[in-house]
Amino acid sequence: MKTWKKLLLLLLVLILLSQIPFAYRRYKLGRLNAAIQQTNSQRVAIQGDVLEYRGAMHVHSFLGGHSTGNFDEIIAAAKSNQLDFVVMTEHPSTNFSTAEMTLQGVHAGVLFINGNEVSTAQADRLLVIPGNGSAADTHQHSTQQVVTQAKVRNATVFVAYPEEFKSWESTDYDGVEVYNVYTNAREINSIVMFFDGLWSYRSYPDLLFATFYKRPAESLRRWDSAIAIRKQRLVAVAGNDAHANVGLALNDTSGNTLLGLKLDPYERSFRLVRVHVLIPNGSVLDAETLRGALAAGHCFIGFDLFSDSSGFRFTGANANETRIQGDEIKLESEIRLNVTAPISSRIVLLRDGNVIQIESGLTRKEFTVTERGSYRVELYLPQLPGSVSEQPWILSNPIYVR
Ligand SMILES: [Zn+2]
């Protein structure tokens, strides 16, 4: 055989060999898909003690730049995901109020509320809900000033991108976006994702998320310590940070897409992670009750791609009263913390950010605690194959034992 033929053959063999891991990763996604279907089929319904609604937070449209998505796409995606609400957080514009122009009210049965994602003089970023026309000049003001101005008009303020946030000592913000799809996606290795995409995008476009999804350890640590140090309640939420522009695309010279691998079209993004809010029986979901539940921490984060987390409950009870996640409760002799899950899970109990107890294979667990502190739980699904089993499925808000 001629040398060039040998070299060509060698190259071909190398190319084939290099694809083995990606073929195997596709096989693993198939197994994960089957396991998720199996797990979802085992969900048990939980009695309606409170009303639960699920939605997506931190969503951008074409209005503030950065994004290409239009309102029809966002409404259709929310509807196809059977979301109850969407919290829009538009980047500001100096020429008009993006918060006033974005989706508000009920569209196709989904409640939209408006907000802004703003940047401050310290380059801290905040989600301010509702937003207003003054969002465009926040970069001239300190983080504390922006928070104070928002609170004066009764807006709810969440710290966005907590791993870059510098002003933890400011006061009066309501919570922290502890998980953000976009932040997590920045850790993607584009070469690996390119070949994963070639092999798996057609069959498992949503589950490609599982190849990079990771517990947001640093954000959780900062949130936990802010609560512990400041002795204040801080709500955790998750942001889809949907722009419909994350991914890989190969275009030809006339701009036609040859290979499009969109990781965050709204429809997909809304499937990955959701905020579930809890509202008292007898109330209705509207802009006011939704904002009230978010500000009070009456909510939890569910990575619903891996199984629907609806029905998860976390309560605390002393001899006189029962409180839900986000609430404070007075320590008498002891507090009973009750966890109910729609699917058998590994339940991890944390106090002030430290793991204090782990229980596996349960849909119900009562923990008895006798110390003050902020208690929260993380639920895992160890029955799912691969790295997903080691990442949280549900992140609760804390119960503050005082
Ligand atoms: Zn954003």
In the chain, the domains with their CATH numbers are 51-309 (3.20.20.140), 312-402 (2.60.40.10)
Tell me the pLDDT band of 258, cut-offs 50, 70 and 90: very low
Mention every residue, 6+ apart, whose C-beta is less than 8 A from residue 158: 126, 127, 129, 173, 174, 175, 176, 177, 235, 237
Tell me the pLDDT band of 246, cut-offs 50, 70 and 90: low
Helices marked H in 160-235: 181-185, 190-200, 217-230
| CA pair distance 99, 132, nearest whole angstrom | 6
Compare 94 and 223 and report the one with higher pLDDT: 223
196 within 8 A of 22, measured Cβ to Cβ: yes
Ligand 1 centroid – CA 66 distance (Å): 9
Mention every residue, 6+ apart, whose C-beta is less than 8 A from residue 282: none
Ligand 1 centroid – CA 124 distance (Å): 12
Ligand 1 centroid – CA 4 distance (Å): 52
Ligand 1 centroid – CA 270 distance (Å): 14
The separation between the first and the last C-alpha atoms of the chain, rounded to the nearest angstrom, is 81
Q: Give me the residue label for tokens 């950010």.
A: 353
pLDDT digits (tens, 9 = 90+) for 151-197: 999 999 999 999 999 999 998 999 999 999 989 988 888 888 888 88
Ligand 1 centroid – CA 278 distance (Å): 25
Ligand 1 centroid – CA 367 distance (Å): 37
Helices marked H in 42-138: 71-80, 98-101
| CA pair distance 55, 64, nearest whole angstrom | 21
Token code pair at residue 374: 């902020």
| pLDDT at res. 136 | 79
Rounded mean pLDDT of the chain? 91
Could you give the percent of the chain with pLDDT greater than 90? 71
| pLDDT at res. 252 | 47
Ligand 1 centroid – CA 172 distance (Å): 21
Ligand 1 centroid – CA 58 distance (Å): 6
Ligand 1 centroid – CA 239 distance (Å): 8
100 within 8 A of 114, measured Cβ to Cβ: yes
Tell me the pLDDT band of 95, cut-offs 50, 70 and 90: confident
Ranges 208-212, 339-343, 359-363, 390-394: which has the least confidence: 208-212
| pLDDT at res. 205 | 86
Compare 232 and 304 and report the one with higher pLDDT: 304
Residue 92 has pLDDT above 80, yes or no: yes
Mean pLDDT computed over 54-81: 91
**Residue from 32, 29, 36, 395 nearest 216 by CA:** 395
Ligand 1 centroid – CA 46 distance (Å): 34
322 within 8 A of 316, measured Cβ to Cβ: yes
Phi-psi sector, 123: left (phi>0), alpha (psi -120 to 50), beta = left
Residue 255 has pLDDT above 60, yes or no: no
Residue 65 has pLDDT above 90, yes or no: no
Task: State how far Cα 107 lies from the chain centre.
Answer: 22
For helices 190-200 and 3-41, the axis angle rounded to 10 degrees is 70
Ligand 1 centroid – CA 353 distance (Å): 26
Ligand 1 centroid – CA 335 distance (Å): 38
399 within 8 A of 223, measured Cβ to Cβ: no
Ligand 1 centroid – CA 241 distance (Å): 5
| CA pair distance 13, 372, nearest whole angstrom | 63
Token code pair at residue 164: 């870059």
361 within 8 A of 285, measured Cβ to Cβ: no
